[in-house]
Structure 1
Amino acid sequence: MTDPTPATGCPAHPDALPLSGPRYQQTPAELYRRMRHEYGPVAPILLDGGVPAWLVLGYREVLHVTGNDQLFARDSRRWHAWSRIPPDWPLLPFVGYQPSVLFTEGAEHRRRAGAISEALSGVDQFELRAHCERVADELIDAFAGSGEADLMADLAHPLPLLAAIWMVGLPGAATQDLVRDLTASLDVVEGVDPVAAYQRVQDRIQHLVAQRRSGPTADVTSRMLEHPAGLTDDEVVQDLISVIAAAQQPTANWIGNTLRLMLTDDRFAITLSGGRRSVGQALNEVLWEDTPTQNFIGRWAVRDTQLGGRRIKEGDCLVLGLAAANTDPQVRPDAHAGPGGNHAHMSFSHGEHQCPYPAPELAEVIARTAVEVLLDRLPDVVLAVPAERLVWRPSVWMRGLEALPVEFTPSYAVGPAR
């Protein structure tokens, strides 16, 4: 990075729209519809600091980009705009090259992603559900007697992280400090330095890897170390951090967005105290209509090409508009009827760089368990504020609530033995 001066405009994109502001935070679906109408399936945008990029809005276009790694690659070092990126650029943690599976390509990506997939495949989903039930009960026990809670802070955020920690085999004694540091490294936590927090997380993962290298057990870390791909300790450390991070924030918002839907939509609210099919329907509807990962940065063009009627130049950055693609009328002309049992959404992306199998299944086990245990324990739970007062977090990348305050009849009994 030779020039720390951020871009102030984009001569090639005179009509580019800044990818920021409250329009993305509160009513993104309406904004995506307007952008699609004005720009088509690929829109010129400006990232933080006026850095130009493309937002891929069309379902077929997102499918094309994610399915053509040789043309739209993942290694961000291909970007031609690095000279315009300042060292404190807000998006640097997401696009700055790291030696993790997220930025690998071709055979190297298949080697690393294959090891992750097979390690995750070894997770017994019945054991995972049982573990999540116990954790959910413990979390709910902490607030059940008060008659009120913030379901984001008290349930949705900690449960996926605790599940991920269990899957990789981290000892329970380190859980509390690790949760704090992981949360701080992934998000803003007042009074905690995110860089120092990330370093502590990395140190703990390195210690875990060293332990499992000398004495493997039945966990994801051990299976990655024993995989025929022959991953180095450093590769396992980097990829475990990616796995834990990917499990936490999206799954937490999937839980929160699902609870919000069920507490505000009469189609689901009327079955809160009985039906179980509605939980699965709500989880699927959220992935289509309010997906946790709204936009993902990104892909970089390997050579000049055409996409959605736009001329894409070598080194251009493309942002995957996953939420916009899910509501593309070209593939969902009957979107008003709801998604039903359709699972062809883009919420877990597509292609070689999609969430590795069986990560989406594991995330659903975690999310479904959180919702079902809450409704079992507190069947009369209701919002503590009008639905219109719920505040979405100020992010164009993730879709999640700042808080989900609820009220219920206090319960002083601890969770059942499961």
Structure 2
Amino acid sequence: MTTPASAVPEHPSAFPPPVTGRCPLGGDASRVPLSGPGFHTEPHKVHRTMRAEHGPVVPVELPGGIPAWLVIGYRELHQVTTDGELFPRDVGLWNQWGNIPEDWPLLPMVGRPMSSIYFTAGAEHRRHAAMVGQALEEVEHFELRTQCEELADRLVDGFCHRGTADLIADFAVPLPVLVLALLLGFPDEEGPLIAEVLRDLADGGPGAQEAHLRFGEHMGRLLAARRAAPGTDVTSRMLAHAGEFTDEEYVLDLMAITAAGHLTTADWIGNSLRLMLTDDQFAVALTGGRHSVAEAMNEVLWEEAPTQILAGRWAARDTRLADRNIRAGDMLLLGLGAANSDPHIRQHLATAQSPSGRSGNSAHLAFSHGEYRCPFPAQEIAEIIARTGIEVLLDRLPDLELAVPVPELVRRQSAFLRGMTALPVSFAPVRPTGDLP
């Protein structure tokens, strides 16, 4: 067995050593850089421009001049995610390994060849998915809702007496990580530490690599603790699954569950609250309209999906997608947010009953699609956390108002993830529940 520290995978020696130079296609002027303020402030405008100039499959450039294809057409993205043989999620096929620096900031997000639910394909992926899926399916939903209510109340108690709050830092970010820590078997005090690690990791900045190492160390310690003292948590159920997995595989799957579930759920909460605070169509949710909360959350999955771009798929052989020649080993990024705004799908969804054309419609690609999409039990858990948290917050503080002008709200500086850096609000101060008779 490996020690917790060694459970964090190293760069595989089977691949050429990384270099710091640009790849041959890195200077191609036709490639669109996946950076800039437009992705943060007006992503829909960026997507429309991309679609007009390049069509549904866009040649893009990642940091360091690394080329890739961004799939922004709904039909094309559906095709890529449905055909797991032609476009597997197998990073080992990537034809750019010789051009990737060891400290490339997106490496933790794109991944290395490793045995986990997120970075495997075919039968190996299904082996991991069976273990993780069973462990998540056994989460009891009524109990989860009760735990979410208690944790949400605890967070609201921390600021309700002030009359002001930042709903991102004070509520949306800590709630999912506290719930996930409880589900996985972490003690409460480790929740904020894991949230900090995941934030550094997701932003893809200079600290991403070091954050990835710390993340693996947290999971290694959790694995050792649950092996020594099994409980009723997800980690213990994974260890009890009928199948042979190494410590490294367990750690990588735990990292995948936590990373996929934390910031995306936090952004789902934050983006939904922002919508309800700024859009008259959903303002009724602020006065206790629970059905409207569900509608606002669904609208966010269409318009402000937490995961805007997902890495990735790799072409198993030379092929064509739309009018593009895709080479074997090329990386395709899934433009989930852009695909949801594809005019071809919008015209089919518009109805006289719903101005947005999406009320109750879950044909969005916010959770991706196909064999490698977010497992359904994980989607259910995320929905319970987000909806329960929002309902508790609105029940406790029904007079929430945005404390700054809408133009002052700032999005996270990421083309891959869409969320708020802060959401300042004001309300009439109330007593914490612990102070009530």
SS at match of 1:351: coil
CA distance in 2, matches of 1:185, 1:330: 34
Amino acid at match of 1:385: V
CA distance in 1, matches of 2:18, 2:285: 59
Residue 75 of structure 1 is matched in structure 2 by 90
8 Å CA contact 1:257, 1:401 repeated in 2: yes
Residues 173-196 of structure 1, C-alpha deviations (whole Å, 9 max, x = no match):
54454444454454589xx96655
Shift of the alpha carbon at 1:407? 0.5
TM-score by length of 2: 0.89
CA distance in 1, matches of 2:214, 2:71: 36
8 Å CA contact 1:181, 1:197 repeated in 2: yes
8 Å CA contact 2:135, 2:237 repeated in 1: yes
Shift of the alpha carbon at 1:410? 0.7
Sequence identity of aligned pairs in percent? 50
Amino acid at match of 2:159: F
8 Å CA contact 2:73, 2:339 repeated in 1: yes
SS at match of 2:169: helix
Residue 324 of structure 1 is matched in structure 2 by 338
Residue 13 of structure 2 is matched in structure 1 by none
Amino acid at match of 2:419: G
Residues 270-316 of structure 1, C-alpha deviations (whole Å, 9 max, x = no match):
34113111000000000011100001121111100011111111011
Amino acid at match of 2:36: G
8 Å CA contact 1:380, 1:408 repeated in 2: yes
Residue 161 of structure 2 is matched in structure 1 by 145
Distance 1:198 1:55, change over 3 A: closer
Shift of the alpha carbon at 1:383? 0.2
SS at match of 2:69: strand
Shift of the alpha carbon at 1:138? 0.8
Of 121, 125, 143, 1:109 maps to: 125
CA distance in 2, matches of 1:197, 1:17: 28
Shift of the alpha carbon at 1:87? 2.5
Residue 310 of structure 2 is matched in structure 1 by 296
Residue 402 of structure 2 is matched in structure 1 by 383
CA distance in 2, matches of 1:220, 1:120: 7
8 Å CA contact 2:23, 2:65 repeated in 1: yes
Residue 255 of structure 2 is matched in structure 1 by 241
1:123 aligns with 2:139: yes
CA distance in 2, matches of 1:2, 1:175: 34
Number of residue equivalences: 414
8 Å CA contact 2:116, 2:125 repeated in 1: no
Residues 46-102 of structure 1, C-alpha deviations (whole Å, 9 max, x = no match):
111222111101111111111111111222121112222223222122224043221
For structure 1, list consecutive stretches of 5 or more residues without a partner in the other structure.
Answer: none
For structure 2, list consecutive stretches of 5 or more residues without a partner in the other structure.
Answer: 1-16
TM-score by length of 1: 0.93
Of 357, 364, 380, 1:361 maps to: 380
Residue 31 of structure 1 is matched in structure 2 by 46
Distance 1:166 1:349, change over 3 A: same
CA distance in 2, matches of 1:24, 1:184: 19
**How do 1:209-248 residues align onto structure 2 when only pairs under 5 Å count?**
209-248=223-262
1:257 aligns with 2:276: no
CA distance in 2, matches of 1:291, 1:416: 38
